[in-house]
Structure 1
Amino acid sequence: MSPAAAPPATAAGPLTVALRLVADRIPRLRIQEGRISEQDTKRILITPAVEALGWDILDIDKVRNEYRHNSADNPVDYALFLNRSPVLFVEAKPLGHSLNDRKWIVQTINYANAAGVDWCVLTNGAEWRIYI
């Protein structure tokens, strides 16, 4: 018995289609050679991916941008909520920037720890690193 072939794109579910569209933008954007800002990365790659994963980006009770758990905290790029409690933080960096910088990893984890959030993500739109 031969292995099953991957389903054609037309048979893909809405999540797969949406994430494929986001992924298809990456090569074109990489040609920009450093001219893609963090804000552009969030708008073009990250926000559509968060939305494709089922989060209602227009509902303030579900997704907040530049969220501060306490007024003295530095803001995290995205806070995702369930039952009005933050459950996942997403920290964005510009497309093309390496996520290996320990400063960014520590920053992301510290944001989550300060708010008591168990899950956090560090992403440049092309690579997503999940920390628990």
Structure 2
Amino acid sequence: MDKLIDAISKVKDRIQKFGAQLRQNEMLTRYVLIDPILRALGWDTENPEHVIPEISTPQGRPDYGLYYNGTPLVMVEAKPLGTDLNKVRDIGFQYCWQNKVPYFVLTDGNVWELYDMKELGGNNIFRIQISEDTLGDSARKLLALWRPAMPNVSEKFPELVISTIQQPPKPETSKISLKDLNQQNVTYTKISAKIYFPDGKTAFTETWQGLAFEVAKWALPKLKELGKLPLGRLIRDTKTKMEKPKSLDKDWFLETFLSAKDSVRESVRILKNAGIDPATVFIEGRIIKKM
């Protein structure tokens, strides 16, 4: 599950960063956006028992055939990022109908559509848009294609992407503000989450210390502007007497010798000193509390 969340998060970032290039290049879209998702779902793209690219059929060459027990279970048609999928959907349907392949995926790396081709006309099982949907919702739906669960393909998959912390206003998501997170009276163990800042910037962390680091790095210019540095023993211009310093820039260091709870608390303190409301900074992903 961590691999899938991480892959979706990276794809989100790549869509934003490399969008112009990906819109011009189908192979790049496959390599940068589609292959990582397939691998995270258990489809080894280097193993012909799992995946055969450009599989030959009388109707053409779909981009991927996903194989299970020696037979094609899913045909995948891939297009450059931003393609109008409505114009190419029928081609993929023909691949599946003529070759008796039960499932069809159409994707541009951002939008993913899964169809049950055993039903007349092709029944849509799910549609997601990675750039707009939450990490949790995208992962839950993509798990319909999880290879270890094959040959069953269904969106009605166990809810494995569930945050164990109290949810923010939309309980179906795993997004929570740092203010609310700081008010949780629990002990945390693991985190794998994306951080959303109020100016639209994002970061990703797989450690609690990384949360404090990303917050401090983002807030550093504001702390400088407001004359809030140094910030106690947390942010200093010297490594002296710091247990585990990490460089924020060429002048300032963050003390990262922090517990999970301390990392959240200090992240909130950094934001407040930078004049930022912690309620406007969110994390989204997998957060586990100590039982």
- Superposition TM-score, scaled by structure 2 size: 0.38
Structure 2 unaligned blocks of 5 or more: 117-291
Give the root-mean-square deviation of aligned CA atoms.
1.6
Work out the number of aligned pairs and report it.
116
One-letter code of the match for 1:115? Answer: N
Q: Does 1:94 align with 2:80?
A: yes
The higher relative CO (CA closer than 8 Å, separation ≥ 6) is in: 1
Q: Which residue of 2 aligns with 1:54?
A: 42
**Of 92-101 and 120-129, the range deviating more from structure 2:** 92-101
- Superposition TM-score, scaled by structure 1 size: 0.81
Q: Does 1:118 align with 2:102?
A: yes
Larger radius of gyration: 2
CA distance in 1, matches of 2:55, 2:21: 29
Cα 1:33/1:118, change in 2 over 3 Å: closer
Hey, which bits of structure 1, 4+ residues long, moved more than 4 A? Answer: none
Q: Which residue of 2 aligns with 1:24?
A: 13
CA distance in 2, matches of 1:83, 1:75: 21
Question: Does the CA-based 8 Å contact 2:62-2:77 persist in structure 1?
Answer: yes
CA distance in 1, matches of 2:64, 2:33: 13
Shift of 1:31: 3.6
Shift of 1:56: 1.1
Could you list the per-position Cα deviations for residues 6-47 of structure 1 after superposition, in whole angstroms to 9, with x for gaps in the alignment?
A: xxxxxx72211122112211111224484x311111111111
CA distance in 2, matches of 1:28, 1:94: 15
CA distance in 1, matches of 2:77, 2:4: 22
Question: Helix, strand or coil: the match of 1:129?
Answer: strand
Structure 1 unaligned blocks of 5 or more: 1-11
Q: Percent identity at matched positions?
A: 35
Shift of 1:116: 0.7
